[in-house]
Structure 1
Amino acid sequence: MSETLFEQIIDREVPADIVHETETTLAFRDINPRAPVHVLVIPKTRYRNVAELAAADPRLLADVLSTAATVAEQEGIAEAGYRVTFNTGDDGGQTVYHVHAHVLGGAPLGPEAAPR
């Protein structure tokens, strides 16, 4: 059995609604969407967070972002606008420790964070 939920999805041990796949990335719908379009983009190689990925493999990080842009086009949200976010660490809201980009759109999203 794979170590994380996302590795299980990559290995097809757990089903997911896959919307796009490349040699290095996988994009699938979030099971708890925060917007009309909410797709997760993951590298097929596991890194715990975006900082670790950026330090170890900048080209793979570029692939993740390129896949996010492709997903936005495919989902019809590129022209109106969309958000790509990475949650890093507990305080950043990360719940699965396999780096993943959230592609959100399909409606006005408002401010990124609530004022303090």
Structure 2
Amino acid sequence: MIDNFITVFSGKELCINEISEKHKFVYDHPVLKKGIFVNGDEVFHVHIENDGKENYHFVQNDECVMLSVKGGQCDFVLFNSDVIHFVEVKATNDNLSTHKKKIYKQLENTFKY
């Protein structure tokens, strides 16, 4: 699947990280506006657990593959040859109902892209 991704999104190779570790932790950094890998004992928003024998590819989608579109897009895409995950992080205590609506719109925009 990575070959197809690189073909479709040519020039976006810097947005992709290969993950070979069993556990990887991602913090959605509010100032840098991107996901950074951190240790498990630090604050993190996403825990990637790889129980398979195949590496995953972690894509910084928001502001790397996809530049801002009206309504936004998901933050990250995580995949191997069998499965793909679209990840949106909402690290806030604000109204959950409002965030759910925004998340659905962001996922919809990503799927259209």
Output the TM-score relative to the length of structure 1. Answer: 0.31
Counting strand residues as a fraction of each chain, which structure ranks higher? 2
- State the structure with bigger RCO (CA 8 A, min sep 6), 1 or 2: 1
- TM-score (norm. length: structure 2): 0.31
